[in-house]
Amino acid sequence: AQSVAQPEDQVNVAEGNPLTVKCTYSVSGNPYLFWYVQYPNRGLQFLLKYITGDNLVKGSYGFEAEFNKSQTSFHLKKPSALVSDSALYFCAVRPQTGANNLFFGTGTRLTVIP
Amino acid sequence: ETGVTQSPTHLIKTRGQQVTLRCSSQSGHNTVSWYQQALGQGPQFIFQYYREEENGRGNFPPRFSGLQFPNYSSELNVNALELDDSALYLCASSRGQITDTQYFGPGTRLTVL
């Protein structure tokens, strides 16, 4: 069965500091991995994805994520946090075979403190 | 913005009623997926339509049904509404390849009283 774990419900970081939002996954076979962000009363906005190739993926708004197969992790990172990065972040996984849908984690609320 | 639109934005219904939610996919996309996001939870997959055919279904009862039209827009129908159906309903469109990104609309907030 496919699953995604986001172990931290809440992450607080000071503006200008690096941020990390953690994600681990469980999937049969190789995964496709995604990060989305959700602002209040909005849908999900795509940030980045890992399909194959380089383990470090760069995405929108300065975000990046590193795929670690041995640790089954796909942590989201940004070198310098902005107050406007405060939002709800979701990690999602899709197995390479089978259903073409996303399995989401429960989300991590990021608060960037000015 | 993604180009995926949903209507209505908000909806209030009572238990036992029926509801239809609508989604227009992004230009060039032939696949629509529907998700339910309960308060404080991640989105849960309801079903997906690819070229007007159902192409996978999550763990939702048959009273959740859908359609996709020739222009690839889609409807989600829920019969016999229950209180637990209160949620944000999200649709996402994509080109249908398994590596493709799903782009989400703003959602419809359904409240069942």
Work out the pLDDT band at A42, boundaries 50, 70, 90. Answer: confident
Q: For residues B27 and B35, what is the distance between their CA atoms, to the nearest angstrom?
A: 20
pLDDT band, very low/low/confident/very high, at A8 (cuts 50, 70, 90): very high
Sort out which chain B residues have CB atoms less than 8 A from A4's CB and list them.
42
Q: Which residue has the tokens 């703003």?
A: B106
* Nearest beta carbon to residue B42 from set A32, A101, A107: A107
Query: Which of B104, B108, B110 would best serve as a mutation to test chain A binding (most A beta carbons within 10 A)?
Result: B104
Q: For residues B94-112, b (16+ Cβ closer than 10 Å) or e, as one string?
A: bbbeeebbbbbbbbbbbeb
- CB–CB of A110/A87 below 8 Å? yes
Is residue B41 within a helix (H) or strand (E), and if so which, with residue range?
none
Contacts of B101 in chain A (CB under 8 A): 34, 46, 49
Check whether B1 has a pLDDT greater than 80.
no
Smallest Cβ–Cβ distance between A104 and the set B42, B48, B101 belongs to B42
Q: Quick check: A107 and B99 CB within 8 A?
A: no
Any idea of the CA torsion for B94, A74, A21, A101, to the nearest 10 degrees? 30
Inter-CA distances, B92 with A7, B28, B40, B73, Å = 26, 13, 20, 11
- Name the helix (H) or strand (E) containing A40: none
- Per-residue pLDDT band at B97 (split at 50, 70, 90): confident
CA A56 – CA A64 distance, rounded (Å): 7
Q: Is A30 on the interface with B (CB under 8 A)?
A: no
CB atoms within 10 A of CB A57: 21
Nearest to B105 among A41, A43, A102 (CB): A43
Whose CA is closest to A61, among A113, A7, A112?
A: A112
Do residues B76 and B34 make contact, with C-beta atoms less than 8 angstroms apart?
A: yes
Q: Band of the pLDDT at A1, cuts 50, 70, 90?
A: confident
Q: Give the residue, A6 or A53, on which the prediction is more confident.
A: A6
Please tell me the distance in Å from B57's CA to the nearest CA on chain A: 8
Nearest-10 Cα torsion for B57, B60, B61, B65: -60
- pLDDT, one tens digit per residue, over B35-93 is 999 999 999 999 999 999 999 999 999 999 999 999 999 999 999 999 999 999 999 99
Chain A segment 58-87 residues within 8 A of B by beta carbon are none
For residues A52-63, average pLDDT:
94
Residue B24: pLDDT band by 50, 70, 90 thresholds?
A: very high
Output the pLDDT for position B62. 97
What proportion of chain A, given as a percentage, has pLDDT over 70? 98
- pLDDT-based confidence at B96, cuts 50/70/90? confident
pLDDT at A41: 76
Give me A29's structure tokens. Answer: 């076979």
CA A107 to chain centre: 9
DSSP string of B49-90?
Answer: EETTEEEEE-S--TTEEEEE-TTS-EEEEE-S--GGG-EEEE
Chain B interface includes A22 (CB < 8 A): no
Smallest CA–CA distance, residue B50 to chain A, in Å, is 10
